[in-house]
Amino acid sequence: MSHNPVQIIARGPRAAAEAAAADIDSDVLLEGATYSILEEDEDRGIWRIDAFPTSQDEVDILTKRLAQHPDVTVKVEALADADWLAMSLSGLPPVEAGRFFVYGAHDQGRVPPNRVNLKIDAGAAFGTGHHGTTVGCLIAYDELLKRERFDRVLDVGCGTGVLAIAAARTGSSLAIGTDIDEPSVRIANENAKLNHANARFVHASGLNDIKVRAGAPYDLVFANILAPPLVALSQDIKMSLRIGGVAILSGLLRTQERRVTAAYLSRGFRLERRIHRDAWSALVLRRMA
């Protein structure tokens, strides 16, 4: 369906804005829609969501979702093409997750000196750090890094490559990623260069690539994909990890936790941690046998 570029702005008290954002996060039909949520007016306690739908379907679903929150007022503003692109790139604030600071080109001059700064621009690949699943993975990884090192890392469903790039920038000697989406692989390789990260990305489904198999056994596997492929790939992920190695899994909703966890526990993993962000869950599972 043709789409006149619009920006959707929703304002309301914090709880209402956060509930509306959680609703957007939990809708699989809105996976491609970019939005940000921030405090607009501290004194008056007003929070604001800026959403940048990329199709008329997303406009309709977003406005329907937001209309379910009566404490939030919603405005849809038309944007000129060029403005829309610029805004979708400049409207996203940086994301902080543990030691990681994920930012776009427009925040170039504002990166903190004492963090691992990852420059990832919004574009055609998933993974600017703004989604609850990416943040969950980065927080889980940051926590693990306080106690252990991961020399060999695999990132299944790399999107922008943000997770493998984070690994390469924090001491992994091998960081490799795969994606079924070819443009994402190209973007991830560009992002690796841009971030001076020794990470490589290949076009493959799951772990089905000779370069991926050659890198095994891995100390850590990230897989931020959906629940069904996480279950389907549980044996492959197990066999790619060394005993004692860790899988950080996300892309699943909290309601899907049991199903995904069960698949890994039955294969000899131990559940070490769950991180909840919006409706999403990230699981830390260690291969014990």
Q: Which amino acid is at 33?
A: A
Q: Which is nearer to ligand SAM, 5 or 206 (CB)?
A: 206
Q: Which is nearer to ligand SAM, 179 or 219 (CB)?
A: 179
How far is Cα 267 from Cα 205, in angstroms, rounded to an integer? 21
Binding site for ligand SAM (CB under 6 A): 126-127, 133-134, 137, 155-159, 162-163, 178-181, 184, 205-206, 224-225, 229, 251
CB of 36 to ligand SAM, least distance (A): 16
How far is Cα 253 from Cα 250, in angstroms, rounded to an integer? 8
179 annotated ligand-binding residue:
yes
Q: Is 81 exposed, middle or buried (0-12, 13-18, 19+ CB in 10 A)?
A: exposed
Q: Which is nearer to ligand SAM, 156 or 283 (CB)?
A: 156
157 annotated ligand-binding residue:
yes
Task: Give the tokens for residue 56.
Answer: 């008329």
Q: Is 190 exposed, middle or buried (0-12, 13-18, 19+ CB in 10 A)?
A: middle
CB of 124 to ligand SAM, least distance (A): 10
Q: Which is nearer to ligand SAM, 50 or 179 (CB)?
A: 179
List Cα–Cα distances, 236 to 86, 180, 231, 270, in angstroms: 41, 16, 10, 17
CB of 161 to ligand SAM, least distance (A): 7
**Bridge partners, residue 271, by sequence:** 285
Task: Give the tokens for residue 283.
Answer: 């699981």
CB of 133 to ligand SAM, least distance (A): 6
CB of 45 to ligand SAM, least distance (A): 31
Q: Which is nearer to ligand SAM, 12 or 251 (CB)?
A: 251
How far is Cα 74 from Cα 49, in angstroms, rounded to an integer? 9
Helix, strand, or coil (residue 52): strand
73 annotated ligand-binding residue:
no
List CB contacts of 132: < 8 A, sequence separation 6 or more: 25, 277, 278, 279, 280
CB of 165 to ligand SAM, least distance (A): 10
Q: Which is nearer to ligand SAM, 47 or 101 (CB)?
A: 101
How far is Cα 191 from Cα 111, in angstroms, rounded to an integer? 17
109 annotated ligand-binding residue:
no
Annotated binding site: 134, 157, 179, 224
Annotated binding site for S-adenosyl-L-methionine: 134, 157, 179, 224
